[in-house]
A and B are shown apart, each in its own frame.
Chain A
Amino acid sequence: MVIEVQGLSKTYRIADKEPGLLGTFNHFFNRKTYDLKAVNEVSFVIKQGEIVGFLGANGAGKTTTLKMLCGLIYPSAGFISVAGYLPQRRQVPFLKQITLVMGQKQQLIWDLPPLDSLMVNAAVYGIREPEARNRITELADMLEIGEELTRPVRKLSLGQRMKAELLAALLHRPTVLFLDEPTLGLDVNAQAKVRSFLAEYNRRTGATILLTSHYMTDITTLCSRVLLIHQGQLFHDGGLDALTERLSPYRQVRLELNKLASKSDFLGYGKLESLNGRSVCLLVERKNLTSIVSRLLSNFDIFDFEVTDPPIDELIGSLFQKGTL
Chain B
Amino acid sequence: MRVAGLSPQVIKALFSTQYANMLEYRAEIALWALSGVLPFIMLTLWSQHDGGNSLAYQGSDLSRYFLSAFLVRQFSVVWVVFSFEEDALFGRLSPYILQPLHPLWRYVASHLAEQVTRFPFAFGIALIFFLLNPASFWLPSFWQLLLAWLATFFSFTIGFLLQSLIASLCFWNERASALERLLFVPYLFLSGLLAPLIAFPSDVLKFANWTPFPYLIDFPARVLAGLPVDILSGFLSQLFWIFCLLPAVLILWRLGVRRYTAMGA
Contacts and interface: CB of A to CB of B under 8 A. Distances in A.
Contacts, number: 82
Interface stretch (A102-110, A213-221, A288-296): A102-110
A71 interface: yes
A305 interface: no
Contact of A124 (B99, B258, B259, B260): B99
B7 A126 contact: yes
Nearest to A108: B95
B9 interface: yes
Contact of B91 (A70, A96, A105, A111): A105
A307 interface: no
Interface stretch (B12-20, B43-51, B203-211, B232-240): B12-20
Interface string A58-98: 00000000010011111000000000000010101001101
B258 A74 contact: yes
Nearest to B105: A124
B138 interface: no
B101 interface: yes
A107 B100 contact: no
A126 B97 CA distance: 17
A68 to B, nearest CB: 10
Interface residues of B, number: 28
B194 to A, nearest CB: 36
For the residues of A in contact with B, the DSSP-based class is mixed
A128 B99 CA distance: 17
Contacts of B13: 119-120, 122-124
B92 interface: yes
A95 B100 contact: yes
B179 interface: no
A107 B92 contact: yes
Contacts of B9: 123, 126, 128-129
B94 interface: yes
A124 B24 CA distance: 23
Interface residues of A, number: 35
A1 to B, nearest CB: 21
B134 to A, nearest CB: 40
Given A67-B262, A74-B258, A107-B92, A125 B100 contact: yes
A73 B99 contact: no
B265 interface: yes
Interface string A121-150: 111111011000000000000000000000
A211 interface: no
A169 B94 CA distance: 12
Contacts of B100: 92, 95-96, 124-126
Contacts of A107: 92, 95-96
Contact of B21 (A71, A98, A111, A119): A111
Nearest to B261: A73
B97 A102 contact: no
A71 B24 contact: no
A92 B102 CA distance: 11
A161 to B, nearest CB: 14
Contacts of B265: 67, 72, 102, 105
Contacts of B260: 72-73
Nearest to B9: A123
- Identify the interface centre among A74, A100, A106, A120: most chain B CB within 10 Å of its CB: A120
Given A123-B10, A124-B10, A117 B17 contact: yes
Contacts of B14: 120, 123
A112 interface: yes
B98 A112 contact: no
A317 B9 CA distance: 48
A112 B20 contact: yes
A116 interface: yes
Q: Which 4 A-B pairs have the closest CB atoms?
A: A123-B13, A107-B95, A111-B24, A92-B100
Interface of A: 12, 67, 70-74, 88, 90, 92, 95-96, 98-100, 102, 105-107, 109, 111-112, 116-117, 119-126, 128-129, 169
5 contacts: A73-B262, A90-B98, A105-B91, A107-B92, A111-B24
